[in-house]
Chains A and B, each alone.
Chain A
Amino acid sequence: MTKIDSTTLLEIKDLVASVEDQQILNGVNLKIKAGEIHAIMGRNGCGKSTLSKVIAGHPAYKVISGNVLFKNQNLLELEAEERARIGIFLGFQYPIEIPGVSNLEFLRVATNSRRKEIGETELDTFEFEDLVRAKLDLVQMKPTFLERSVNEGFSGGEKKRNEILQMALLNPSVAILDETDSGLDIDALRIVASGVKKLSTKSTATILITHYQRLLNEITPDYVHIMSDGKIMQTGGPELAIELEKEGYDWLNKYEEIKGDKS
């Protein structure tokens, strides 16, 4: 099945990838359409974060074989910044601190690089401040966040909210949120989840990478995928996540025989 219908945003085919000479992804297949929310769950080390980094184009992760198509375009040929500009967004599990660079200026440069790509006018500092202030409410951030250095000295919750603010500004077609719920208290989780919900539209897709059901209580996914050993082992509806939460990952062991067959 190579033909892609018009609503498919992202298609991952037999993706095999490694980091530091260790193969982590062992043939991932996934198809994501506009308007969908997917959750990817799995144990630590199953390859969830690797998948997100490969899609976003982290240079340390090498693709050995397979393909990733975004709107029919080969994503793997593009640099990380080009992927971001055409509408791929990665919300980091551990947002990076950039000392001395003002958050406002960082957000402005990032926003303008996306706007330029989609043919919108670039914004000067004053125009951008108006835009960003309007988006701050979405994640309940104070304007003082803009004056600080990017993520520097931010609490865990502030960092994650800053990620969602970036998502709101960049307006991506496909947003991959890597453990955006980790390290959040219940209030911060609700703020982040409601932000993500508001940003998920009919024309965009969201991939939630998570360990826990609690995020999925806030945002109901259309599909839940369970990853193990660098592959998607099972796909189902929201009930799959609930089952997983109840049974724990050991429940997955019944799939081990499938792995045994292949190797």
Chain B
Amino acid sequence: MSNANTVDQIVSKPYKYGFTTDIETEKIDKGINEDIVRLISLKKKEPEFLLNFRLRAYSQWLKMKEPDWAELKYPKIDYQDIIYYAAPKQNQKKASLEEVDPKLLETFDKLGIPLSEQKRIANVAVDAVFDSVSIATTYKEKLAESGVIFCSISEAVSLYPELIKRYLGSVVPITDNFFAALNSAVFSDGSFVFIPKGVKCPMDLSSYFRINSGDTGQFERTLIIAEERASVSYLEGCTAPMFDTNTLHAAVVELIALDDATIKYSTVQNWYSGNEKGVGGIYNFVTKRGECRGKRSKISWSQVETGSAITWKYPSCILKGNGSVGEFYSIALTNNFQKADTGTKMIHVGSNSRSKIVSKGISAGNSNNSYRGLVQIGPQAENARNYSQCDSMLIGDKASANTYPYIKSNQPNSNIEHEASTCRISEDQLFYLQSRGIDFEEAVSMLVSGFCSDVFNELPLEFASEADKLLALKLEGSVG
């Protein structure tokens, strides 16, 4: 045969972050009840207001139903079969990195996130979260010089309880949805960022989330506040070992931007996605929402979603401030039996608010990839504008893609534009590249990168090339 390559023969390459770290872990008993919620709060030595926050969330969660409207079919999750708190055994949070268990440092080294002074990434401060706890945050002192607070949320609870009290749950209320309520009851750790008035954060901030235990859910909680005229760029990465069971990840991220503040939040999500038969992988149910509370404030989400068996995620913006801006740039790639239902909500409240949505979905193998988005223009949002572009690319003939754009406008004086397209990788495009000496797999990833280029342009520079490599890796494989 002169050329037996066909597009649907692409298989994904083995997941390179699939190792587990052999470390002694403190875990609590499986299951969830009021005592477990109290125990988590106790372990974290939390003030009463937070315990009450958790208990309220728990009692609300009991009354709520797991959502079933998404294009996601998965076996019922047994919430009593999950461990809600796991932490590597070490004496509390370490004052300095030298005291952190070398095995943990090694793990992050292996993941390409060196934490030690000598090797750490220049100009990016990292908060490293391992299972339920944050193990280290780099460049803390340097950031403190400009008044920026960057630490784990547990630390923030004890050091800045007033900020937590004021802002936690103010964007995603505990009753928002089933998974947000669960997170509010049992959240373990995550990052806290506070950029004071007028400060432009001197370096990019980043959190790296690592799930290590197979039977433990991860419920991280992130809170970012940018005061008047402040700005910050925050990056988030995630990986997990390969287990043949499914691990639940239910995070909540809240962003608050006051007058003229800017928050740019970028994610590369590469949780383990299960094997080529669809066994194992992370169930990723995430609530991410930003509130442009102030005038002319801006929140920009960009995400590259390549991992997880199931992704349920809609990073959203509430555009309260007049003249505020919300953006959502997304690449979601699914392969094998992965399912993703992802998109955004742009809620226009303030006048002259603007939003832009650019979504690129790529489905290969037997996967299903849905875009689901809402653009809502409230009665006060005069002159609001939205532009949405949702493109899907299908690789092979067993993958599927759906687009569900919802538009609700209560303001006649507003402007909403929506464009959508679906395409397949064409044999002629592939042949053109191959006839120039470019091999099949590289040709496919070139076409995919080209398809995603509008979104790559929005990612922080180093992140963009990392994301590009990640996409290539996910599509790479032996071809007949």
Taking Cβ atoms with an 8 Å cutoff, the residues of A that contact B are 56-60, 63, 76-81, 83-85, 89-90, 92, 95-96, 98-101, 106, 109-110, 113-114, 117, 149, 166, 170
Contacts and interface: CB of A to CB of B under 8 A. Distances in A.
Given A95-B432, A98-B429, A98-B450, A113 B2 contact: no
B3 interface: yes
Main secondary structure of the interface of B (DSSP, over half): helix
A91 to B, nearest CB: 10
Interface string B446-462: 11011111100000000
B49 interface: no
B446 A79 contact: no
B266 to A, nearest CB: 19
Given A59-B5, A78-B2, A81-B440, A100 B450 contact: yes
Contact of A79 (B3, B6, B429, B436): B3
A58 B431 contact: yes
B298 to A, nearest CB: 26
B435 interface: yes
Given A78-B2, A79-B440, A109-B442, A99 B450 contact: yes
B453 A98 contact: no
Contacts of A79: 2-3, 5, 434, 439-440
A130 to B, nearest CB: 20
A114 B437 contact: yes
Contacts of B452: 100
B433 interface: yes
Contacts, number: 95
Among A59, A80, A110, A170: residue with most chain B CB under 10 A: A80
A84 B436 CA distance: 6
B438 interface: yes
Interface string B23-58: 000000000000000000000000000000000000
Interface residues of B, number: 29
Contacts of B450: 98-101, 149
A110 B6 CA distance: 21
B99 interface: no
A95 B433 CA distance: 11
Contacts of A106: 433, 436, 446
Contact of B436 (A58, A60, A110): A110
Given A57-B2, A59-B5, A114-B437, A80 B431 contact: yes
Contact of A77 (B2, B426, B443): B2
Among A79, A83, A95, A110: residue with most chain B CB under 10 A: A79
B3 A166 contact: no
A79 B5 CA distance: 9
17 contacts: A57-B435, A77-B2, A79-B2, A80-B434, A81-B435, A81-B443, A84-B435, A84-B437, A92-B432, A100-B449, A100-B450, A101-B447, A101-B449, A106-B433, A106-B436, A170-B436, A170-B437
A89 B437 CA distance: 9
B428 interface: yes
Contacts of A99: 450-451, 453
B427 interface: yes
B288 to A, nearest CB: 26
Nearest to A60: B427
Contacts of A58: 3, 431, 435
B2 A100 contact: no
Contacts of A170: 436-437
Contact of A110 (B5, B428, B438): B438
Nearest to A152: B450
A32 B457 CA distance: 47
Given A59-B427, A109-B442, A76 B2 contact: yes
Contacts of B432: 92, 95-96, 98
A81 B439 contact: yes
B202 to A, nearest CB: 29
A245 B6 CA distance: 42
Nearest to B432: A96
A17 B428 CA distance: 19
A92 B5 CA distance: 21
A100 B438 contact: no
Given A100-B453, A109-B442, A63 B2 contact: yes
